[in-house]
Amino acid sequence: MMGKEKLKAYTVCDKWNDAGSIIVWAESSGKAKSQSLYNDIFDGYEFTDLRVCREPDFDKYAESKKVPIQELLDRCWWFCCCECLKDHLGQDSIDNGDAFIIERDERDDFVLGTIICADCKKKEDNK
Ligand SMILES: [Zn+2]
């Protein structure tokens, strides 16, 4: 633990928006970037390839470093199915019954909860 240093939330993405976005908590945007280079999704990227955006709404999650998935969906984020990795599952997919939020929290990342597609959920339910 780093004592009482106040961490701020940032969204970090690459400038081409290829790899996706992550949320990190750090003291400054520079630290947010350098911290993100350790994340697998930015493997091979340079410091100058990354873009940072302040996310004051997520400061309150600095302790757990996890944002409830619904809050990200509300901001038009999309996710991959946690089983088959089918992508672009967002709020629309949930509204249409093509995807579901589940409480699973096995991923070591910044999201609390995960998304499963309808096909995989059916398989899970039949187990
Ligand atoms: Zn799936």
At residue 69, the pLDDT reads 95
Q: How do 21-26 and 8-14 pair as beta strands?
A: antiparallel
At residue 103, the pLDDT reads 86
Is the pLDDT at 127 greater than 90, yes or no? no
**CA 62/CA 10 separation, integer angstroms:** 11
Q: Are the beta carbons of 50 and 61 closer than 8 angstroms?
A: no
pTM: 0.86
* 68 strand-pairing partners: 112
Q: Which of 83, 89, 75 is nearest to 23 (CA)?
A: 75
At residue 100, the pLDDT reads 97
At residue 48, the pLDDT reads 97
Residue 83 CA to ligand 1 centre (angstroms): 5
pLDDT tens per residue, range 35-52: 999 999 999 999 999 999
Q: For the chain, which residues make up each domain, given as ranges?
A: 8-61, 67-125
Residue 70 CA to ligand 1 centre (angstroms): 18
Is the pLDDT at 20 greater than 80, yes or no? yes
pLDDT tens per residue, range 71-120: 999 999 999 999 999 999 999 999 999 999 998 766 568 999 999 999 99
Residue 61 CA to ligand 1 centre (angstroms): 28
Residue 118 CA to ligand 1 centre (angstroms): 7
Residue 102 CA to ligand 1 centre (angstroms): 12
